[in-house]
């Protein structure tokens, strides 16, 4: 299977994928907290500190000094520790854990399964403690009085940035060694460089060791690769700063409005605006990470392939967050049996995978609902809806996909089940408020971002409409860079959604 395939035939795994409050190097997530927080003191790629200080100094050191792996490792540790050095030991522990268990698995022979189990359990224990302990205790606190027990105090545990990404990365490394897809990296320095590499560290793409194993020891940055890296980074920066950031403020205000005060049109604007915001926020950041990787000689895997141009939910998940969907496919769906056990077993496997996919995004029942919602449509398309869709015109299939996905973003963004239900009621017209341009809060800037964002999300790339001459592409990238830098210099709102995961 290629990276662009979603959950398909089971087989051998491919060796690849309130408003915002400032936080530092972690995010506090009390029960039900489903809002996005900015990274505060942490270095966003789309920040003045990163763009004009950290990145130029790093690139000079990386390309001029004789030990690029050491330079990359030290820069990555500095990057991660910038907001809060207290979280750095956890990353170092995770590096040591996976390096050690990788060596043990490689040497153990028939006992490799035991070492693999211990290594995977260690990664999951870190994730469960930091991300889900408070949520699980809160569920018990709600049930305990019903059975005559005292409710425990709910802990508030700081969520280290990127822990969902680098623990999944570690798990895939250990499993791939056990499967014989990669050899364990014996150099702690080289493994630490791979594990801590700052471009994909905290927001993906999830980079499997097999994808870059041949470049860990030695790599070459050609002029062509450097140029592609600058282009990818600049496009991602423009997506993040000029589109996602422009949409973020109005979307926040709409979701902060009591659903009873939203007209039907305003509710749909909130959902559709968020659909575009989260796409350009995350895809933009992924493109920046891919571009940075190319500047230092790594070809990181693609994470998005125009998901809003899909014509089914199945197709959407072949295009959205590709490295996560293929991770779940290769390390959970296929080991569960994939689609080999008949329709009922396949449906159960899909439902479980997408329930866990939802919970991967956060410890909240709203995320679980979002995952099950997508899983339900995947099951429906597999058992018959897909055959109906292929008979429809392409425009109808696309409208179906946009409708399903836009509605699905409501529980993902809403605070809790109550707000989700009220917003969905408003979207269904269960409101007496009239929809007017003024009531929508639709400004010229917001309207422009919606139009440009909608076109950019579905417009084809490659040969065809966007096949531009090299000088034109370079000029366009320069313009994007200047506009993005000007926007950041003006102090515009600059949150980042996926830092919380």
Per-residue pLDDT reduced to its tens digit, 368-389: 999 999 999 999 999 999 999 9
Determine the pLDDT at residue 500. 60
Determine the pLDDT at residue 432. 64
**What is the mean pLDDT of the segment spanning 1-9?**
36
DSSP single-letter state for residue 159: E
The 3-state secondary structure of 269-296 reads HHHHHHHHHHHHHHHHHHHHHHHHHHHC
Break the chain into its structural domains and give their ranges.
26-204, 221-300+429-495
Q: pLDDT confidence of 28, banded at 50, 70, 90?
A: very low
How far, in Å, CA of 501 to CA of 360, rounded?
8
Q: pLDDT confidence of 69, banded at 50, 70, 90?
A: very high
Max intra-chain CA distance, the chain: 73
Q: pLDDT confidence of 461, banded at 50, 70, 90?
A: low
Per-residue pLDDT reduced to its tens digit, 257-299: 887 788 888 899 999 999 999 999 999 999 999 999 999 999 9
How far, in Å, CA of 40 to CA of 237, rounded?
18
- In this structure, of 9-13, 136-140, 401-405, 493-497, the range with the lowest mean pLDDT score is 9-13
Determine the pLDDT at residue 179. 95
Determine the pLDDT at residue 14. 38
Two tokens, residue 200: 């994909």
Q: Quick check: 434 pLDDT over 60? A: no
How far, in Å, CA of 59 to CA of 182, rounded?
29
256 vs 23, more confident:
256
Mean pLDDT of the chain: 86
**What is the mean pLDDT of the segment spanning 110-135?**
93
Two tokens, residue 2: 């290629």
Whether this prediction's pTM lies above 0.85 is answered by: yes
Q: pLDDT confidence of 498, banded at 50, 70, 90?
A: low
Q: Quick check: 460 pLDDT over 60? A: yes
Determine the pLDDT at residue 105. 96
125 vs 259, more confident:
125
Determine the pLDDT at residue 396. 96
Per-residue pLDDT reduced to its tens digit, 210-253: 999 999 988 999 999 999 999 999 999 999 999 999 999 999 98
How far, in Å, CA of 327 to CA of 168, rounded?
8
| Greatest mean pLDDT range, 3-17, 78-92, 167-181, 481-495 | 167-181
Q: Quick check: 10 pLDDT over 60? A: no
Q: Quick check: 203 pLDDT over 70? A: yes
Where in the sequence numbering do the catalytic residues fall? Answer: 361
């Amino acid at each position: 299977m290629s990276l662009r395939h979603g959950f398909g035939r089971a087989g051998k795994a491919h060796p690849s994928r309130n408003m915002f409050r400032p936080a530092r190097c972690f995010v506090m997530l009390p029960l039900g907290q489903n809002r996005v927080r900015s990274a505060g003191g942490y270095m966003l790629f789309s920040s003045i500190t990163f763009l004009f200080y950290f990145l130029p100094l790093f690139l000079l050191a990386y390309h001029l000094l004789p030990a690029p792996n050491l330079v990359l490792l030290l820069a990555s540790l500095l990057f991660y520790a910038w907001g809060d050095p207290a979280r750095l030991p956890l990353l170092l522990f995770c590096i040591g854990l996976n390096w050690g268990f990788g060596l043990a698995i490689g040497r153990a022979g028939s006992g490799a399964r035991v070492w693999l189990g211990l290594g995977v359990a260690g990664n999951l224990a870190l994730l469960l403690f930091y991300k889900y302990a408070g949520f699980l205790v809160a569920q018990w606190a709600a049930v305990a009085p019903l059975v005559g027990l005292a409710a425990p105090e709910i802990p508030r545990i700081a969520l280290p940035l990127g822990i969902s990404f680098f623990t999944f990365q570690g798990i895939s490394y250990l499993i791939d060694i056990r499967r014989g897809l990669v050899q364990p990296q014996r150099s702690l320095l080289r493994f630490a460089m791979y594990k801590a590499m700052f471009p994909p560290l905290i927001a993906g793409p999830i980079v499997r060791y097999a994808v870059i194993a041949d470049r860990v020891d030695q790599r070459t940055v050609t002029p062509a690769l450097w140029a592609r890296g600058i282009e990818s980074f600049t496009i991602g920066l423009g997506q993040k700063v000029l589109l996602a950031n422009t949409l973020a403020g109005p979307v926040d205000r709409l979701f902060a409005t009591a659903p009873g005060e939203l007209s039907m049109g305003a509710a749909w604007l909130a959902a559709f605006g968020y659909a575009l915001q989260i796409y350009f926020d995350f895809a933009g950041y992924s493109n920046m990470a891919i571009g940075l990787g190319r500047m230092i000689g790594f070809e990181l895997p693609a994470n998005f392939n125009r998901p809003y141009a899909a014509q089914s939910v199945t197709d959407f998940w072949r295009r959205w967050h590709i490295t996560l969907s293929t991770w779940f496919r290769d390390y959970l769906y296929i080991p569960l049996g994939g689609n080999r056990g008949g329709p009922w077993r396949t449906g159960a496997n899909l439902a479980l995978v997408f329930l866990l996919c939802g919970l991967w995004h956060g410890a909240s029942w709203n995320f679980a609902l979002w995952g099950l919602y997508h899983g339900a449509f995947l099951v429906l398309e597999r058992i018959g809806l897909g055959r109906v869709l292929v008979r429809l015109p392409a425009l109808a299939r696309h409208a179906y996909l946009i409708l399903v996905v836009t509605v699905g973003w409501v529980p993902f963004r809403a605070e809790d089940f109550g707000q989700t239900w009220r917003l969905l009621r408003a979207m269904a017209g269960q409101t007496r408020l009239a929809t007017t341009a003024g009531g929508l809060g639709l400004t010229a800037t917001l309207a422009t971002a919606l139009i440009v964002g909608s076109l950019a999300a579905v417009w084809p790339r490659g040969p065809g409409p966007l096949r531009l001459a090299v000088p034109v592409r370079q000029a366009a990238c320069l313009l994007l860079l200047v506009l993005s830098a000007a926007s950041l210099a003006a102090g515009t709102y600059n949150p980042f959604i996926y830092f919380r995961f």
